[in-house]
Amino acid sequence: MALLRFALALGLMAGLSACARNDLAEPPVPLGQFALGLNIAVADKVEMVPISRPATPDEWEAVMVKAVGDRFGRYQGSKLYNIGISVDAYALAPPGIPVVAAPKSILVVTANIWDDAARQKLNPEGKQITVFESLSGETVIGTGITRSRKQQMEALAFNAVKRVEDWLLEHPEWFDMTPEQLQAAMAARAEAVKTARKTAAAAPAAAPAEPAAAPALPPAAPAN
């Protein structure tokens, strides 16, 4: 609880937020032969700060499982990885005063990942992640005024799982990739996204795209 109070106070003073746009229509970031195995969220020990709108453990587990599935369920690799998310603490901004100091929403989670075939946890210690809602006109005045409780939870879960993705990219060795291979794959992805945006900008308005699926990569060459 002390950690959550500190993070919440820091966010109120500094205007911090996780700046996450919806990138699910873009190609997934390269994670080798990744495919999502078990998708587990637990919130039985979640803590809530007193100023928060309430949410049940079941609600948090459901919103986290959906966010993980939306992001990591796109991969079509040949190697299963299990992702576990513990929801540790949260504050959902209640209706407040429409000024910069209005309450902001925050979520603290701990992530873990396992190699399914090896039945091995890849990270020695859980990765704790703290996120705020994305900065916008409505979050500057406090999302309790402009967003429903469900919308706040969905935004926080999206930002948290995006941060999980960033964490996985720090460990290409978990996915049988070298740093050089990851860098090259990320550069190719960035170029593909850039080209797609130019094409979309030049094309007539169309229906929203479905989340992009990750193409299956060829098996990695055996090490010498």
pLDDT at residue 208, rounded to an integer: 56
For the segment 131-181, what is each residue's pLDDT rounded down to a tens digit?
998 654 344 444 545 678 999 999 999 999 999 999 999 999 999 999 999
In order of start, what are the domains of the chain with their CATH numbers? 2-197 (3.40.50)
**pLDDT surpassing 70 at residue 209:** no
pLDDT at residue 102, rounded to an integer: 53
* pTM (2 d.p.): 0.79
For residue 26, which of 188, 218, 219, 183 has the smallest C-alpha distance? 188
